Amino acid sequence: MGKLILIRHGQSMWNLKNVFTGWVDVPLSEQGIHEAIQAGKQLSEISFDVVFTSMQIRAAETAMIALAQNKSDKTPILLHSKGQLEEWSRIYDQKMIDNMIPVHHNWHLNERYYGELQGKNKEETAKEFGEAQVYQWRRSYDIPPPKGESLKDTAERTIPFFEKEVVPELEKGKNILISAHGNSLRSIVMHIDHLSKEEVIELEIQTGQPIIYDYENNQLISNK
């Protein structure tokens, strides 16, 4: 039986400043680093086999900081699949290959693209456009912000990736960690838990709080 652990990155510097971030590559705040450490301690007994993160630094930081708390002797290693980075980061010792936790970056797990809201303060944006409009942009399923992605748009990239890359690893009994973002994970949880468009509006994924599923009999079961 494999396990799937989803974790939203710890608080970022723009979370702290209450700013729409989207695809802007902002690192963790001091609190976010602490959240990643605490998440890692909570997960320290789980021996991970594969890790997936978005391309964004806050998700990668969270994964690596959390894994640094793990009791397994394995080393998480970010894999590169293109050009000279792939060639020059090759490992030539089989013992160290066997001791590795492969970490895969992929843009399909990136945060929802917030378009023209990126870099704007959320409170000031609510004053400009109205709280109801901003709430729709942030929480609804299929209403995108100006020139950005809706949650539906995000799901159209995250779910095929999840089914193609993650589920086959779970079928092999592996323990998988996905470190990503509020909305990319909302779309995946919506898919796993069969939430309706109305139910997903209320779904809030907290920073640095692991969500754990057991993979058993070809289905994911929440382990709360």
Interval 202-217 mean pLDDT: 96
Give the model's pLDDT for residue 94: 97
- Return the bridge partners of 220, or none: 215
pLDDT of residue 173: 96
DSSP-derived letter for residue 162 is: I
Residue from 9, 105, 108, 181 carrying the catalytic annotation: 9
Task: Reply yes or no on whether the pLDDT at 169 is more than 90.
Answer: yes
**What's the pLDDT score for residue 139?**
92
Q: Which of 171, 147, 151 is nearest to 159 (CA)?
A: 151
- DSSP calls for 165-178: IIHHHHHTT--EEE
This prediction's pTM = 0.96
CATH number of the domain at 177, please: 3.40.50.1240
Catalytic residue among 105, 111, 149, 181: 111
Distance between CA atoms of 60 and 178, rounded to whole angstroms?
10
Average pLDDT over residues 57-75: 97
Please tell me the total count of domains within the chain: 1
224 pLDDT above the threshold of 90: no
Q: pLDDT tens-digit profile of 81-113?
A: 888 999 999 999 999 999 999 999 999 999 999
List, for residues 147-166, the tens digit of each pLDDT value: 999 999 999 999 999 999 99
Which residues are part of a known binding site for substrate?
8-15, 21-22, 58, 111-114, 122, 138-139, 182-183
Is the pLDDT confidence value at 184 over 80? yes
Band (pLDDT 50/70/90 cuts) for residue 74 is very high
Residues making up the binding site: 8-15, 21-22, 58, 111-114, 122, 138-139, 182-183
pLDDT for residue 1: 86
User: Known catalytic residue: 9?
Assistant: yes
Q: How far apart are CA 55 and CA 103, in angstroms?
A: 11
pLDDT for residue 82: 84
Structure confidence at residue 83 (pLDDT): 87
Q: What is the mean predicted confidence (pLDDT) over 30-37?
A: 98
At residue 223, the pLDDT reads: 84
How many angstroms from the chain centroid is the CA of residue 193? 17
Which structural domain range is residue 94 located in? 2-222
